[in-house]
Amino acid sequence: MSWGGGMDDREKLSRLDDLLLAEILSTPDDVILAGIAPGKIDALRQEITTASIKAGKSRMADAKASLVIDRARPVVVSLDQARGAAALKAARAQDRTLDQKLTMAARSGGADYEADRPGIEEDLAELEAWDDEDRGER
């Protein structure tokens, strides 16, 4: 029987637990009675049931913890600089005040404006992506 090269110890123990439970639960009563006193059979079955319930609860707790970790991950939005540049151009065309402020910043700022331009375009692309997400466009 192969235990799987990619499994960690916990996964191996879980698989062994499942196999042992299946073997014990599938054993005919007459075979069990031949080797164990009748009073101990019920106690053993109860212990097996309890162990199975505990194992299930442990797996459920692990699944819930994984879900919490997964939900806590930030949503990553890829940014398209060409899209940001187009959004900046459209924003400037629609908003004369914004266009004037950016023009004044470019004239007084000189090279700094051009250095900030990719950042502005990236910010606009991110805002547009958020708007698309809000509208359900992915």
pLDDT digits (tens, 9 = 90+) for 3-53: 556 788 888 898 999 999 899 889 887 887 787 776 787 888 899 999 999
Instruction: Assess if residue 39 is contained within a domain.
Output: yes
Please tell me the total count of domains within the chain.
2
The amino acid sitting at 95 is D
pLDDT at residue 117 greater than cutoff 70: yes
Instruction: Assess if residue 4 is contained within a domain.
Output: no
CB-based burial label for 129 (10 Å; 0-12, 13-18, 19+)? buried
Q: Are residues 13 and 63 in the same domain?
A: yes
Q: What stretches of 56-126 adopt beta strand conformation (E)?
A: none
Instruction: Assess if residue 1 is contained within a domain.
Output: no
Q: Are residues 91 and 68 in the same domain?
A: no
Q: Are residues 95 and 126 in the same domain?
A: yes
Q: Are residues 86 and 118 in the same domain?
A: yes
Domain range for 31: 9-72
Q: Are residues 95 and 53 in the same domain?
A: no
